[in-house]
Amino acid sequence: MFANLDQIFVLLKQWAVGWLPASWQAAAGVLLCVVAIICVFPGLFAITVLLERKGLGRMQNRYGPNRVGIFGILQPVADGIKSLTKEDLVPLSADAVVHFIAPVFLVVVVFMGYAVLPMGRNMTLVHLDAALLFYFAIGASTELSVFMAGWSSRNKYSLLGAMRAVAQMISYEVPLLMSSVAVVMITGSLSLDKIVAAQNQYTWGLPHWYIFTPWGFAGFAMFAIAATAETNRSPFDLPEGESELVAGYFTEYSGFKFAEFFLGEYVGMLSISGLGTTLFLGGWSSPLAVLGWVPSWFWFFAKIMLSMCVYIWMRGTLPRLRQDQLMNFAWKFVLPLTLLNLFVTALWRFMGDGWERWLVCSAILVLAYVVMGRTGMHRDHLGARRYRYAD
Amino acid sequence: MGFVFYVIVALTLAGALAAVLLKNTVHCALALTVAFAGLALQFLELDAQFAGFAQILVYVGAVAILVVFAILLTRGSETPKDGVFSRTWLAGLAIAAAVFAVLGWAVLGSAQALPGPGGARTAPPTVTVLQIGNALMSRYVLPLEIVALLLTAALIGAVMVAMHEKAGTQ
Amino acid sequence: MTESELMDATKPEGWNRPPAVKLDGEGEVLEISMGPHHPSTHGVFRMDLKLDGERVIGLKPEFGYLHRNHEKIAEGISYLACMPYTDRLDYICSLTNNWAYALAVEKLAGLAVPERAEYLRVILGELTRVQNHLGAIGFLIQDMGASGTPLMYAFREREKILDRFEELTGSRMMCNYMRFGGCRVDATPAWLDGVRNVVAGLPAFVDEFEALLRTNEILMARTQGTGILRPELAINAGVTGPMLRASGVNYDIRKVDHYGIYDRFKFRVPLGDHWDVYDRFMVRLLEARESIKILEQALKDIPGGPVMDPKAKIRGFRPKAGEAYGRIEAPKGELGFYLISDGGPNPYRYRVRPPSLINLTVLEDMALGQNVADVVLILGSVDIVLGEVDR
Amino acid sequence: MLGEGILKGLAETARNFVGSYFSAERLTTVQYPEQRIAPIEATRDFPFLVYDGADWEAGLRCVACQICEKECPPKCIYIEKSTGKKPDALGKPQFYPARFDIDISVCMSCQICVEVCPFEAIKMDTEFELSTTDRFGGLLYDRKELAKSNEHYHKIHPTEAAAVDAHLAGEKAKADAKTKAAAAAATAKAAASAAPPAGGGA
Amino acid sequence: MTPLTAYLLVAALLFAIGLAGALTRRNAILVLIGIEMMLNAANLNLIAFWRYGPHPEALTGMMFAIFSIAVAAAEAAVGLGLVISIHRHAHTTDVDLMNRMKG
């Protein structure tokens, strides 16, 4: 029963495909999966947007949307209809073709990343041996779309936003890759299926997720920072820079094209959360061995929605950084730490089992973090201040 | 050797031609990206997964962006007024045509001598990333190290060349 | 010592504003027009920015989009009818505007203010200061991209203060409460109890606000060392208010002029030592704390009695010919009204010294050499209200 | 330590997030059309003209003295004095406004007209839902639209209205006393003037 | 025409296009684009030879292509750095105008 529930989507697909002639089955299966992905993740996007607006509202002591439907659950529908019916403006001097291609390209590229994510037991669309490489190759292409959008709008704000976005995404791609390499070093494979399988083991009922190791924790933290920057989310949302660049690279987009950018951003967030989940949080494996009966896809989606909540929480709290600080943070703090983390990972690998490696690895990482944080703050003369008073 | 091949080839060549012929520099760079992506697809079609993904990662993700950045930094996106092509464009074109003629003649002429049993494709070799990694670390370790050195040197060199000379300009 | 030597010796740095950044000719200068339709120019305010990359090398503020001819209108209407117009100067703090104008007219006409009215003025003025400072901090952090969370918290408290204003004066923002020789209506004991309740809740709120912001690393990184205003320049440019005190100059008109009954209260003046945006932000926060202290004292000691000078006339008010300048420490700085009377029912000449406008004049000096993202921050730290800048 | 302040901030927003579900102090939003803030007595929005009795035209307290028109800061009041006079509440013949228009779209709710009115004739309303589809005419109120009964005034500003009524009653009593005295004097005088001849006649 | 020949012809065509671009365009960045294209044509050759060669499991051609990609990336970085540097000195990216040896 539970096994069937776990495999329900796989079985459904087989059942649906079974009606077709044998030669079509493989292609139809893939097509079905693609359609499923294209339906599910925009649905999650709608839920996330609603969750974000409600969550931000509550953090700011407001209700958030609560007028459309009960508790406002139809708000995304209303938003969608609104953006579809809005006029699609293209600035007179814009490069119309590139202006049109940019959002389409973004959405296409972002969806391609899902091809390799294992969303449950036996629920990977394409079993690639170099899945991680594929993911990063695809992820790197989103920058181009951002650039196209910013450049083709012929707006100075857009161009500034696009330049910022591209510089930021290139900078943070390096730590993103580097922190993932640690996982590859331990697993010995670029295949995401194998990475999940390696984490789907239990000792005393507790999972072998990589986040529960010193290097994995550090790697996850770095990955999370880099992923936030990659998706242009607060506190790294300066390409959009609401308060200075108005909306950055998509200032000149309206109506459906704007919705596409919005969709691309959120689907990208979901996708990179999925990657982080797969790499560090055990993918679809359950957090406790006794919960193994719960369907694996439930855990995957629960984990990515949880990380979306963290995104929202951060957005509700943190102001944004400045461009140079962002770059300094990437190159002077995150990148050295990820490199150190690679070293620590190697140490972990070769120190063998035992408590010593826990101690040594944690000590190195904590020490490095504290020292680098202190020197960084000290270098920029940052810190809480005391104030004098005159009577 | 089917439909897919022709589509990919058309995409690649169209991208390449556009990259060479278009007036607007940024359009050229974007067309170049298309050509690179087409090449990556050809690599995938040739069962060279790793090389294909590396191609996308390096060319689409990095080199194209670099080119675009360079264009913007040099204000090259403004179309020049006095002609797009070099004064010696005719000679250039002639040379290129000649080179293509020679290469094509050579390829067609040596078709019989080329490997491949009767032109049919052999069974796709199963190349895992593990094999590539092992090869890189054993047989190709020296080239790997040299490439690493080269990349480091190029990194430093590029930074040095493009760096703002702050002290000097005042 | 010759005169020129004396000049050199006493000439403070920043006297004649050396260009902080020289255009080195090799970078491309990007000129962007920020505003008047821009989310963080706090109204219809425009800046012509010259950027080298993202560094500001020139900034030309353009005001006047909200010019309403206030001073000329005032010459055509009676003294009393000017009062509601002063509400609209700095529409966040209408009560302090009322106070400054009433003070000027009282000087002109030689009216005395009953003690209870003085206390009421202090209470209302300090409540205004608290809500203005909290709102200003909220807007400042909003400009930094914190999704408005601190702003919402500030507005939540401001709401309580505005409710008290409405109970007493009949209006939330356009209070039009003070009159020449007192206040329009008397406060009931119930109102005073309500204010006591609000004031009792304020310290806890300020603590919460500080916990959210004061040690936030991103905020420190953004604001510390940004937008430095040297004290010499601040004095020379006529900057007043929290901006001046954040530049380390001890100048508070409540202490200097002893207007009203401020001599009776114990409070301190916080001063900044680093002269940057963080200091301006903290000085406002600390000033809000001091204001709460004043409020507590005033609410304890408020006496009974009338609230209007019996000699004051509502209809047919004609002060004798003469001139007067009344100024107070408004939340944004020195707010002064200069009046000339020719004995008629209208002011012969009416002139406002608006703190926002004069504090804004140093914007370029603070912004030169900074990042474009910092410009909005620096503008936010000046705390302008366009109604007052353009009048 | 780097990150400490960020964590503190995150804790703060989390507390507010949870708090907004439990504490009414935090979640202060009023769901406007369904919920309303309890009316505050001192609230003022736009002026109206008070009338006594049942007939608005006869009962208007306004005597078209035009002080408010003169004092109004944005000059949104327009008054035309009547040619004839009619008796007011005190029985004294007074002018009345043949036309009394207020352009609500210009009015800035400053209450100066109320303060300067010597006849307690113009007061501030609390009605604020005044949206109209007619941009110009819809917000230009004439005296019929402006006239509201004294009961309405009592309903929206009870304390103030009671004071005004007491004041007016005092004036009326004074005036009545005065007229009575005058009448008495007149009758006395009449009696006196009538008496001597009568007396003389007697 | 064997498939290999087809790939080789495509590569030759790509090479010729790249060469033409490098020789005819005036913008230094576009010249660089042409050079990149020629390098890519060579990569295509390498992969095709690897795939149709007798010993694909030896990975030689693929390795060569991967190294070539890495070298091309380095070349692009340095080349573009040079272009930017020249632009800073000479205020032009026109190769026809870059005719001075001194900056």
pLDDT exceeds cutoff 50 at C100: yes
Into how many domains does chain D fold? 1
Q: What percent of chain C has pLDDT over 70?
A: 93
- Find, among A64, A238, A165, A247, the residue nearest to C145 by Cα: A238
The amino acid at residue E48 is A
Which of the four pLDDT bands, split at 50, 70 and 90, describes residue E76?
Answer: confident
Instruction: Tell me whether residues C24 and B169 touch, CB distance under 8 A.
Output: yes
- Find, among C145, C50, C147, the residue nearest to A245 by Cα: C145
C-beta of residue A98 within 8 angstroms of C-beta of residue A151: yes
- Find, among E45, E48, E43, E33, the residue nearest to E67 by Cα: E43
Kindly compute the dihedral angle of the four CA atoms of residues E53, E55, E56, E57, in this order, to the nearest 10 degrees. Answer: 180
DSSP, res A318: P
Question: C294 or C371: which carries more pLDDT confidence?
Answer: C294
pLDDT exceeds cutoff 80 at C4: no
Alpha-carbon distance A161 to A155, whole Å?
10
Alpha-carbon distance A44 to A69, whole Å?
18
A128 touching chain B per CB within 8 A: yes
Residue D93, strand partner residues = D87
pLDDT exceeds cutoff 60 at A332: yes
Q: Which chains share 3+ C-beta pairs under 8 angstroms with B?
A: A, C, E
Residues 51 through 110 of chain C touching chain A, CB cutoff 8 Å: 54
Instruction: Tell me whether residues A318 and C216 touch, CB distance under 8 A.
Output: yes
From chain A, which residues contact C within 8 Å (Cβ)? 56, 59-62, 156-157, 160, 164, 234-235, 237-238, 241-244, 246, 315-325, 377, 380-385, 387-391
pLDDT exceeds cutoff 80 at C17: no
Structural tokens at position A35: 């359609």
Alpha-helix runs per DSSP H in chain E: 3-24, 28-52, 60-90
Compute how many other C-beta atoms are within 10 angstroms of the C-beta atom of residue E100.
8
Chain segment C315-358, per-residue pLDDT in tens:
778 888 889 998 898 899 899 999 998 888 888 989 999 898 88
C-beta of residue C278 within 8 angstroms of C-beta of residue C216: no
C-beta of residue A65 within 8 angstroms of C-beta of residue A72: yes
Which 3-state string (H, E, C) describes C15-82? Answer: CCCCCCCCCCCCCCEEEEEECCCCCCCCCCCEEEEEEECCEEEEEEEECCCCCCCHHHHHHHCCHHHH
Cβ-Cβ contacts under 8 Å, C216 against chain D = 5-6, 8-9
pLDDT exceeds cutoff 70 at E101: no
C-beta of residue C174 within 8 angstroms of C-beta of residue C91: yes
Chain segment A139-148, per-residue pLDDT in tens:
888 888 888 8
pLDDT of residue D152: 87
pLDDT of residue C338: 92
Highest mean predicted confidence (pLDDT) among A292-301, B158-167, C17-26: A292-301
Chain segment A212-222, per-residue pLDDT in tens:
888 888 899 99
Instruction: Tell me whether residues B84 and E53 touch, CB distance under 8 A.
Output: no
Into how many domains does chain E fold? 1
Structural tokens at position C204: 């806890």
Alpha-carbon distance C155 to C59, whole Å?
31
Instruction: Tell me whether residues C211 and D6 touch, CB distance under 8 A.
Output: no
Q: Which chains share 3+ C-beta pairs under 8 angstroms with D?
A: A, C
Cβ-Cβ contacts under 8 Å, D20 against chain A = 58-59, 61-62
Ramachandran category for residue A117: left, alpha or beta (phi over 0 → left; psi -120 to 50 → alpha):
beta
Which residues contact residue C357 at a Cβ distance below 8 angstroms, ignoring those fewer than 6 apart?
C63, C384, C388, C389, C390, C391
Mean pLDDT of E76-97: 76
pLDDT of residue B79: 57
pLDDT of residue B75: 67
D35 touching chain A per CB within 8 A: no
C170 touching chain D per CB within 8 A: yes
- Residue D32's SS3 state is coil
C-beta of residue C134 within 8 angstroms of C-beta of residue C152: no
Mean residue pLDDT across chain A: 85
Examine residue D72 and state whether it is found in any structural domain, yes or no.
yes
B71 touching chain A per CB within 8 A: no
DSSP A215-283: HHHHHHHHHHHHHHHHTT-TTS-TTT-HHHHTTGGGTT--HHHHHHHHHHHHHHHHHHHHHHHHHHS-T
Residue in chain D closest to C147 (alpha carbons) equals D13
The amino acid at residue A191 is S
pLDDT of residue C128: 92
Instruction: Tell me whether residues B169 and C28 touch, CB distance under 8 A.
Output: no
DSSP B45-89: HTT-HHHHHHHIIIIIIIIHHHHHHHHHHTTTTSPPSS-SB-TTH
Structural tokens at position E27: 């913008």
Structural tokens at position A377: 């703050």
Instruction: Tell me whether residues C217 and D5 touch, CB distance under 8 A.
Output: yes
Examine residue E83 and state whether it is found in any structural domain, yes or no.
yes
Instruction: Tell me whether residues D2 and A374 touch, CB distance under 8 A.
Output: yes
Structural tokens at position A138: 């695809």
C207 touching chain D per CB within 8 A: no
Cβ-Cβ contacts under 8 Å, C26 against chain B = 169
Mean residue pLDDT across chain D: 82
From chain C, which residues contact B within 8 Å (Cβ)? 24, 26, 28
Mean pLDDT of C292-313: 85
Q: Distance of CA A211 to CAs A154, A215, A336, Å?
A: 44, 8, 19
Which residues contact residue A301 at a Cβ distance below 8 angstroms, ignoring those fewer than 6 apart?
A44, A119
Mean pLDDT of A123-141: 85
**Is there an interface between B and E (3+ Cβ pairs < 8 A)?**
yes
Instruction: Tell me whether residues B65 and A173 touch, CB distance under 8 A.
Output: no
Instruction: Tell me whether residues A61 and D20 touch, CB distance under 8 A.
Output: yes
Alpha-carbon distance B105 to A104, whole Å?
42
B51 touching chain A per CB within 8 A: no
pLDDT exceeds cutoff 70 at C27: no
pLDDT of residue C60: 86
pLDDT exceeds cutoff 50 at C6: no
Q: Which of A61, A314, A376 sits opposite D26 (nearest CB)?
A: A61
pLDDT of residue B170: 31
Cβ-Cβ contacts under 8 Å, E70 against chain B = 58, 147, 150-151
Mean residue pLDDT across chain C: 83
pLDDT exceeds cutoff 70 at A278: yes
Chain segment D47-62, per-residue pLDDT in tens:
888 888 778 877 788 8
Point out the least confidently predicted range of A362-371, B67-76, C263-272, D187-196. D187-196
Instruction: Tell me whether residues C28 and B75 touch, CB distance under 8 A.
Output: yes
- Find, among D143, D121, D151, D154, the residue nearest to D53 by Cα: D151
Q: Which chains share 3+ C-beta pairs under 8 angstroms with E?
A: B
Cβ-Cβ contacts under 8 Å, A321 against chain C = 218, 221-222
DSSP A193-228: HHHHHHH--EETTEE--GGGSHHHHHHHHHHHHHHH
CATH no. for residue D96?
3.30.70.3270
- For chains B and E, CB pairs below 8 A equal 255
Cβ-Cβ contacts under 8 Å, E12 against chain B = 100, 103-104, 107
Chain D: closest CA distance from residue A338 (Å): 17
CATH assignment, C70-390 = 1.10.645.10
Alpha-carbon distance C353 to C391, whole Å?
10
* Residue C275 CB-half CA count within 13 A: 16
The amino acid at residue C132 is N
Point out the least confidently predicted range of A113-122, A131-140, A287-296, B81-90. B81-90
Nearest-Å Rg of the Cα atoms of chain B is 21
Structural tokens at position B98: 């000649």
Cβ-Cβ contacts under 8 Å, D116 against chain C = 80, 314-315
Which 3-state string (H, E, C) describes chain C? Answer: CCHHHHHHHHCCCCCCCCCCCCCCCCCCEEEEEECCCCCCCCCCCEEEEEEECCEEEEEEEECCCCCCCHHHHHHHCCHHHHHHHHHCCCCCCHHHHHHHHHHHHHHHHCCCCCHHHHHHHHHHHHHHHHHHHHHHHHHHHHHCCCCCHHHHHHHHHHHHHHHHHHHHHCCCCCCCCEECCEECCCCCHHHHHHHHHHHHHHHHHHHHHHHHHCCCHHHHHHHCCCCCCCHHHHHHHCCCCHHHHHCCCCCCHHHHCCCCCHHHCCCCEEECCCCCHHHHHHHHHHHHHHHHHHHHHHHHHCCCCCCECCCCCCCCCCCCCEEEEEEEEECCEEEEEEEEECCCCCEEEEEEECHHHHHHCCHHHHHCCCEHHHHHHHHHHHCCCHHHHHC
- For chains A and B, CB pairs below 8 A equal 65
Chain segment B108-138, per-residue pLDDT in tens:
787 766 655 555 566 677 777 888 888 888 8
Instruction: Tell me whether residues C24 and B75 touch, CB distance under 8 A.
Output: no
Residue in chain C closest to A380 (alpha carbons) equals C221
* Residue C344 CB-half CA count within 13 A: 11
Q: Which chains share 3+ C-beta pairs under 8 angstroms with C?
A: A, B, D
pLDDT of residue B168: 42
Mean pLDDT of C269-278: 87
Residue in chain B closest to A132 (alpha carbons) equals B53
- Element at A51 (helix H, strand E): helix A22-59
**Is there an interface between A and B (3+ Cβ pairs < 8 A)?**
yes
C-beta of residue A140 within 8 angstroms of C-beta of residue A294: no
Best mutation target among E38, E44, E63 (most B Cβ atoms within 10 Å) is: E63
Q: Distance of CA E11 to CAs C12, E17, E48, E68, Å?
A: 71, 10, 10, 15
pLDDT of residue C7: 45
Examine residue D83 and state whether it is found in any structural domain, yes or no.
yes
- Residue D97's SS3 state is strand
Which parts of chain B have pLDDT scores under 70?
1, 75-84, 86-87, 112-123, 162, 164-170
Best mutation target among C42, C149, C256 (most A Cβ atoms within 10 Å) is: C149
Q: Which chains share 3+ C-beta pairs under 8 angstroms with A?
A: B, C, D
Question: A155 or C17: which carries more pLDDT confidence?
Answer: A155
pLDDT of residue B80: 58
Instruction: Tell me whether residues B169 and C26 touch, CB distance under 8 A.
Output: yes
Residues 3 through 42 of chain B touching chain E, CB cutoff 8 Å: 5, 9, 12-13, 16-17, 19-20, 25, 28-29, 32, 35-36, 39, 42
Alpha-carbon distance C289 to C134, whole Å?
10
Ramachandran angles phi, psi of B62, nearest 5°? -115, -55
Q: Which of E16, E50, E93 sits opposite B96 (nearest CB)?
A: E16
Q: What percent of chain A has pLDDT over 70?
A: 99
Residue in chain C closest to D12 (alpha carbons) equals C212
Examine residue E37 and state whether it is found in any structural domain, yes or no.
yes
pLDDT exceeds cutoff 50 at C15: no
Which of the four pLDDT bands, split at 50, 70 and 90, describes residue A291?
Answer: confident
The amino acid at residue D160 is E
Cβ-Cβ contacts under 8 Å, D1 against chain A = 370, 373-374
Chain segment C66-84, per-residue pLDDT in tens:
888 888 888 888 888 888 8
Kindly compute the dihedral angle of the four CA atoms of residues E60, E65, E68, E69, in this order, to the nearest 10 degrees. Answer: -140
pLDDT exceeds cutoff 60 at C16: no
Structural tokens at position A306: 């949880």
Angle at B36 between CA B35 and CA B37, to 5 degrees: 90
- Find, among C118, C165, C164, the residue nearest to C301 by Cα: C118
Instruction: Tell me whether residues C221 and A325 touch, CB distance under 8 A.
Output: yes
- Domain around E21: 3-90
- Kindly list the structural domains of chain B, giving each domain's residue range(s) and its CATH number in brackets, ordered by start: 3-78+127-169 (1.20.120.1200)
Examine residue D119 and state whether it is found in any structural domain, yes or no.
yes
Chain segment D116-155, per-residue pLDDT in tens:
888 888 888 888 888 888 887 788 888 888 888 888 888 8
C-alpha distance across the termini of chain A, in Å:
77
Which of the four pLDDT bands, split at 50, 70 and 90, describes residue C305?
Answer: confident
- Domain around D148: 47-169
CATH no. for residue E46?
1.10.287.3510
Chain segment C101-118, per-residue pLDDT in tens:
998 988 888 888 888 888
- Residue D148's SS3 state is strand
Residues 280 through 339 of chain C touching chain A, CB cutoff 8 Å: 282-283, 286
The position carrying tokens 């919005």 is A262
Alpha-carbon distance D31 to A66, whole Å?
10
pLDDT exceeds cutoff 60 at A17: yes
Residue D148, strand partner residues = D50
pLDDT exceeds cutoff 60 at A237: yes
